Amino acid sequence: MPTPGFKHLLVMWVGIGVLSGCDRPPDLLEAIRSDGKLIVVTRNAPTTYYQGREGPEGYEYSLVSALAESLEVEVEFKVLDSVEGVLATVANGEAHLAAAGITRTESRNGRFRFGPEYFPVQQEVVCRRGEPLPKSPIELTEKALRVAAGTSYLERLKALQQEHPNLAWEADAGQGSEQLLYKVWKREIDCTVADSNIVAINRRYLPELLVAFPISEQQQLAWVLPENADAFEAYLHEWFQEAKEAGLMARLYERYYGYAEIFDYVDMRVFMRRIESRLPRYETMFREAAEHHQLPWTLLAAQAYQESHWNPRAKSPTGVRGMMMLTLNTAKEVGVASRLDPAQSVRGGAKYLSQMMKRLPESVQGEDRLWFALAAYNVGFAHLRDARTLAERLGRNPDRWVDLKEVLPLLAEKEHYRDLPYGYARGWEPVDYVQRIRDYRNVFERQLLQKSVTAAEPN
C-alpha cells in the first residue's frame, strides 16, 4: 500500500501511477516545491539524456520527469559533457540532483551524498573486433588504454595497478565514455573502459566493439544530492520503492534497453551498409505509406528490413513474398495485386499494421500499441488476444509490452495453450520480431541524426 500522505498521480507518458510527496521538515524538498522547479544536471549521452525524434529522451530524462510529476513541479535540465562537471555542479549547490549515470563507489561515498540505488552495471574493458583481444589485466598492459577522467573507472584501474604495476592508461579530460568508444571503433586507441549499460547501447551503432573482460563486480547507479537534502533523500527512497512496485522501473528498462538484448554483429554490419546502398531506393515509399496511415516511417522501414532486408522479391518457404512478406490472403485483404511490386507491398504492409493497431483496445497506450501491433502482424491477432488472456490469468498486465513479451513464449507450452481458444503458437517469434525491429529503428534513427548534424555543420 502507498505510504500514508502520498497521493497517486497518473503519469500519462508512461501510463502508470507514481507517488507525490508528503509533509516533511523544510529543507531542499520544501525549496523545490516552493519554487515549482526541480533543477537537474545530467550528461548528453544515449543512456542519460539526448534529443530524440520528438524532443528530449533518455533513461535518466524519463525517470527524472516521472519524479517531477510526483512533485508537481517543472524540470530544468543542465546538460554537461563530463562526470566531473556534473558532480561539481551538485557540490556547488547549482542543482538539486545529478541524474547522469553516476556509479556509487566507496571513494565517492566519502565525498558525495547519494540517493537510492536504481540500476546495476559492471565496468567492462572494451576493444575492437579484428585486433588481439586482452583477456586479463596482465594482457591489458600491452594495450594503449584511455579512459574518461573523473570516472569511477580510474578508481578501479588504480586498484588493479596495485596488483599489476605495469598497467598504465591515459585519463582523457576532454572525452566522455561514448566518445572514447568511438575512438576505439576508429582504431585511434586500443581499448577503453565503460559501464555495461553504456556498452550495450553503443555497440548497436559501433558493432565492431567487443567486451574483452569485466574489471569490477556489479555496481549500482545512483543520483547524487546536495548536503541539505535530508527530507528530499527520504522522499526519494519512498518514491523509488513505489515506482518499482508500480512498474515504472521495469517499463523504463524495457523502453530504453529492452531492444538491446539481441545483438548480431554480422547482421548489424550488413544493415548499416544497406542503409546507404538500398534504403534510398525505397525511402519515399516508406515515408508516403507511413504518413497515410499515421505511422512512424522509420518504424515501417525497420519492419520492412526485418521482413525482407529491403528485397522486393524476397520469398519464404511458407509462401509469404515481397518487401513486407505478405501472405496471399493478406495481400488480397489490403488490396495488393502484386506482392513483388515494392510500392504496393509497402502500402499493403502499412495498411495491415495500421489495422492491427486499430483493433487494439484503448487500454494499450503509447509505444506499446506499436509493439502489440507488430507482434500481431507476425503471429496473428488471435494469438495476441490469447496472450493477453493468459497474461490476465497469470496476474500480469495484458496492456503492457513489458509483461506481454514474457507471456507470449508460453503459447508454445501445452500447460498454457491447451485452454486457449487458438491453441499453440511459436510465441517466442513475435518477441524476437519486435525486438529486432526496435533495434533496427534505433540504429537507423541514430544514423539519420548523425547525418543531419553533419549536414548542419559549417564547411
pLDDT above 60 (res 6): no
Residue 415 among the catalytic residues: no
How confident is the model over 34-71, as pLDDT tens digits? 999 999 999 988 789 887 656 788 899 999 999 999 99
Q: One fold for both 8-115+222-260 and 265-452?
A: no
Q: What is the pLDDT of residue 452?
A: 61
Query: Is the full-model pTM beyond 0.85?
Result: no
58 conformational bin, left if phi > 0, alpha if psi -120 to 50, beta if neither: left
First to last CA, the chain: 60
Nearest-angstrom CA–CA distance, 72 and 87: 26
Collect all residues with Cβ–Cβ distance below 8 Å to 346 and sequence separation of at least 6.
Answer: 282, 285, 286, 289, 300, 304, 323, 324
Tell me the pairing of strands 113-121 and 97-98. unpaired
Q: Kindly state which CATH superfamily the domain 8-115+222-260 is placed in.
A: Periplasmic binding protein-like II (3.40.190.10)
pLDDT above 70 (res 1): no
Collect all residues with Cβ–Cβ distance below 8 Å to 332 and sequence separation of at least 6.
Answer: none
Burial class of residue 422 (count of CB atoms within 10 Å of its CB; 0-12, 13-18, 19+): middle
Nearest-angstrom CA–CA distance, 459 and 298: 29
Q: What is the pLDDT of residue 25?
A: 43
Q: What is the CATH number of domain 265-452?
A: 1.10.530.10
How confident is the model over 224-278, as pLDDT tens digits? 999 889 999 999 999 999 999 998 998 888 888 876 666 666 677 888 889 989 9
Domain limits of the chain? 8-115+222-260, 123-216, 265-452
**Phi then psi dihedrals of residue 219, to 5 deg:** -120, 175
- What would the 3-class secondary structure string for 181-241 be? HHHHHCCCCCEEEEEHHHHHHHHHHCCCEEEEEECCCCEEEEEEECCCCHHHHHHHHHHHH
pLDDT above 80 (res 2): no
How confident is the model over 352-362, as pLDDT tens digits? 999 999 999 99
How confident is the model over 268-318, as pLDDT tens digits? 788 888 998 999 999 999 999 999 999 999 999 999 999 999 999 998 766
> Residue 147's beta-bridge partner residues?
171
Collect all residues with Cβ–Cβ distance below 8 Å to 88 and sequence separation of at least 6.
Answer: none
Q: Which of 307, 272, 300 minimizes the C-alpha distance to 286?
A: 300
Q: What is the pLDDT of residue 50?
A: 80
Q: What is the pLDDT of residue 438?
A: 92
How confident is the model over 149-195, as pLDDT tens digits? 989 999 999 999 999 999 999 999 888 898 899 899 889 999 999 99
Catalytic residue among 60, 69, 178, 307: 307
Contact between 82 and 176 under an 8 Å Cβ cutoff? The reply is yes
Q: What is the pLDDT of residue 56?
A: 85
Q: Kindly state which CATH superfamily the domain 123-216 is placed in.
A: Periplasmic binding protein-like II (3.40.190.10)
